[in-house]
Amino acid sequence: MKFGLILAAGRGERFGAPKQKSILGGHPMALWSILAFEQSPAVDIIVMVADEDSVEFFERQIRERNIDKVEAVVPGGAERINSLLAGLKVLPEQGFVAVHDAARPFVRADEVTAGFKMVTTKGSAIYALPVTDTIKCVKKNLIVQTVPRNGLYRAQTPQFFPLPILHQALHKAADDGFTGTDEASYVERLEEKIHILPGREENIKITFPQDIELAENLIASGACP
Ligand code: C5P
């Protein structure tokens, strides 16, 4: 079985409000990701993680759009790791999962399908893009050094894993007291191979209120689904 795990909880502190409900192109932002996973023929079941007080809101949105792969909307936690664990708790030990941030509304169904093809044939995989900016290490507002960017990538989501491996990685992280910022950072600690799938600049992460304007412009330009 292949599962989509959509993380859509959190207070949106940098955004100033729970961004997952803000309207983008006529839909609450988190619905864009749900629709991409619904449309991918590779996905069997979707589990969504939302804030406790948004669970009913999203259940209603999903019913109204006749989305039928969403099996559960579960309440998340204070930090992303808590939401990830809340979602994983309702997934089985076997099968494959794509973990995706609902803050990236422009993921495409064909990217979800391609990711599952990769994870089921070659193993764990994430979408990422090579760094093109010059990267500086800065302390107290002064440059310490320039970090060679050769081989540096920006991780995006979705990220694809065999479920036994992701479960094992999170157990190990709990034992070691380690918290990562994406799923791959947990799986890397098992020394598992993780393949890179070609990310897309348009698969932006909505972090600040001004990102909504950028996102609306991407929709208007036809660059996004
Ligand atoms: O806050 P940030 O933009 O880094 O969040 C990345 C993703 O993780 C978002 O899709 C957000 O909904 C999710 N998240 C979550 N639970 C939290 C914090 C963030 O599901 N407590």
The pLDDT of residue 146 is 96
User: From the CA of 221, how far away is ligand 1's center (Å)?
Assistant: 27
Contact 203/121 with Cβ under 8 angstroms?
Answer: no
Tell how far the Cα of 10 is from the centroid of ligand 1, in angstroms. Answer: 5
pLDDT in tens, 5-44: 999 999 878 887 788 888 999 999 999 999 999 999 999 9
Mean pLDDT of 81-104: 97
pLDDT reported for residue 91: 98
Q: Which CATH number fits domain 2-125+155-221: 3.40.50.300, 3.90.550.10, 3.40.1190.10, 3.40.50.1820?
A: 3.90.550.10
At residue 204, the pLDDT reads 96
Query: What is the pTM (predicted TM-score) of this model?
Result: 0.96
Beta bridge partners of 98: 4, 160
Residues with CB under 6 A from ligand 1: 7-10, 20, 49, 76-80, 82-83, 101-103, 207
- HSE (CB half, 13 Å, CA atoms) of 179? 7
pLDDT digits (tens, 9 = 90+) for 193-208: 999 999 999 999 999 9
| Ligand 1: centre distance to CA 15 (Å) | 11
Sign of CA dihedral 78, 81, 82, 88: positive
What whole-number distance in Å separates Cα of residue 163 and Cα of residue 22? 31
- pLDDT digit string, tens, across residues 165-224: 999 999 999 999 999 999 999 999 999 999 999 999 999 999 998 999 999 999 998 877
pLDDT at 97: 98
pLDDT mean over 74-78: 96
Pick from 101, 104, 181 the residue to mutate for probing ligand 1's pocket: most ligand atoms within 8 Å of its CB: 101
Here the tokens at position 39 are: 């449309």
- State both tokens at 137: 């290490």
How is residue 206 written in tokens? 């909505």
Three-state SS sequence of the chain: CEEEEEEECCCCCCCCCCHHHCEECCEEHHHHHHHHHHHCCCCCEEEEEECHHHHHHHHHHHHHCCCCCEEEEEECCCCHHHHHHHHHHCCCCCCEEEEEECCCCCCCHHHHHHHHHHHHHCCCEEEEEECCCCEEEEECCEEEEEECCCCCEEEEEEEEEEHHHHHHHHHHHHHHCCCCCCHHHHHHCCCCCCEEEECCCCCCCCCCCHHHHHHHHHHHCCCCC
